[in-house]
Structure 1
Amino acid sequence: MKNSILSILAFAAIVACKKTDTTNVDSTTDSSSMTTPADTGMMTNDSTSVSNRTETQSTLSDQDKKFADAAAKGGMMEVMAGQLAATNSTNEKVKTFGEMMVKDHTKANDELKSWAAKVSYQLPTGLDAEKQKAYDDLKAKKGADFDRKYTDMMVNDHKTTIADFKKQAADGTEISLKSFAQKTIPALEHHLMESEKTKAAVK
């Protein structure tokens, strides 16, 4: 009787050990199968993403970079000066023109930023020294002096900007940046026409 009980206990212990071993093997297999493919996929995607950004960046010519930088700084200047005109001028024509500059150039600036994000290009985030001085000088003007200074600036700036955009549309290398320049030219030409009208109205 005692021998029978011992035999039963020994058999139960063996079965329990086998069950534990099987559970451990399954657990190890599951853990491995869950982590390996995920890690491998992540590495492949990251590598591809970096490669694409590098390839796009390398397609930018000196002309592309020069244009993008100038367009970014010029666009910021147009918005900042337009905000001054909309709040500081006492002339309704100047105010209306300034509001149009803020609206249109904010839209163009956002399009340029979107392009830069896609190609991983770092645009300037502030005005250069020359534009900052021009802005500070404008900000110090009041009344009719402000109106004359602002409208003179807008006429001259838009003549220069149109020439820059036409050069990029003709000589640029990066296709989407060339397209941005080309499609923005009509709006800039309209701004030049309106700035000339506004300038004539404040003389």
Structure 2
Amino acid sequence: MKNFVATLFAVATLVACKKNETPPPDQNSESTAVAPAAESGMTVSDSTKTSTPMAQTNALSDQDKKFADAAAKGGMMEVMLGKLAETNAASSTVKALGAMMVKDHTQANDVLMKWAATTGYTLPAVLDTEKQKIYDELKAKKGVDFDKKYADLMVSDHKMDISEFKKEVSEGKETALKSFASKTLPTLEHHLKESEKAKNAVK
């Protein structure tokens, strides 16, 4: 009889404990996230959905990392400056050049971001000090002054970009990144020709 009473008491205690358990947190609670500037043309993937393949990241050469960082920052700046050209330029030729830069470099940025997500490599999310200064100076210009400065910048910038992309093709180690550089080169070379045309048009 004592054993039966003890068993009942244990069961009652267990049920009471179950009722007093703290309910799980609300799964529908909202979390905050910082989105990249829309004007940069860069998007951020949800890193919580996939694990980081650290082995691939660690296997990247210094050349690959240097190139990826430069391409990301350069691509962001091209999109941001292109949007400025669409609004601040006086020449229809320069406006069209800016629109082309926004379209093509946004597409290239997306490809680079997908590569980074697959590889587990973290690309720069903002411009460095030098590129930010260039953007700020150009943003203050309007009309003809803007046209000349923007066209000059696009010529010099794309000459440098082409050099960097060719170096990655010849010296890079990561196959997918080398392929990105190789496939993007013709677009950059086209941009250089169009930038030179625009420069001559606004002399």
Do Structure 1 and Structure 2 share a fold, with TM-score over 0.5?
yes
**What is the rounded CA distance, in whole Å, between the counterparts of 1:92 and 1:85 in structure 2?**
10
Report the Cα offset of residue 126 of structure 1.
0.5
Counterpart for residue 185 of structure 2: 185
Report the Cα offset of residue 58 of structure 1.
2.1
SS where residue 181 of structure 2 aligns?
helix
Residue type at the aligned position of 2:118: K
1:56-112 superposed Cα distances (whole Å, 9 cap, x missing partner): 112200000000000000000000000000111121000001000000000000000
**What is the rounded CA distance, in whole Å, between the counterparts of 1:64 and 1:176 in structure 2?**
10
The structure with the larger Rg is: 1
Residue type at the aligned position of 1:119: T
Counterpart for residue 91 of structure 2: 91
Counterpart for residue 135 of structure 1: 135
**What is the rounded CA distance, in whole Å, between the counterparts of 1:80 and 1:54 in structure 2?**
31
Counterpart for residue 53 of structure 1: 53
Counterpart for residue 115 of structure 1: 115
1:59, 1:173 within 8 Å by CA — same for their partners in 2? Answer: no
4+ aligned runs moved over 3 Å, structure 1: none
Structure 2 matches for 1:1-150, cutoff 5 A? 53-150=53-150
**What is the rounded CA distance, in whole Å, between the counterparts of 2:82 and 2:57 in structure 1?**
33
1:89, 1:142 within 8 Å by CA — same for their partners in 2? Answer: yes
Report the Cα offset of residue 54 of structure 1.
2.1
**What is the rounded CA distance, in whole Å, between the counterparts of 1:183 and 1:81 in structure 2?**
23
Q: Percent identity?
A: 64
Query: Which structure carries more helix by proportion?
Result: 1
Paired positions, count: 154
Report the Cα offset of residue 142 of structure 1.
1.3
**What is the rounded CA distance, in whole Å, between the counterparts of 1:192 and 1:82 in structure 2?**
14
- State the TM-score, normalized to the length of structure 2: 0.74
Residue type at the aligned position of 1:98: G
RMSD of equivalent CA atoms = 1.1
Unaligned runs of 5+ in 2: 1-49
Report the Cα offset of residue 116 of structure 1.
0.2
Unaligned runs of 5+ in 1: 1-48
Counterpart for residue 202 of structure 1: 202
**What is the rounded CA distance, in whole Å, between the counterparts of 1:149 and 1:90 in structure 2?**
12
- State the TM-score, normalized to the length of structure 1: 0.74
Counterpart for residue 47 of structure 2: none
2:67, 2:164 within 8 Å by CA — same for their partners in 1? Answer: yes
**What is the rounded CA distance, in whole Å, between the counterparts of 1:115 and 1:184 in structure 2?**
14
Counterpart for residue 33 of structure 1: none
1:166, 1:182 within 8 Å by CA — same for their partners in 2? Answer: yes
Residue type at the aligned position of 1:184: T
Residue type at the aligned position of 1:77: M
1:175-200 superposed Cα distances (whole Å, 9 cap, x missing partner): 00000001100000000000000010
1:148, 1:202 within 8 Å by CA — same for their partners in 2? Answer: yes
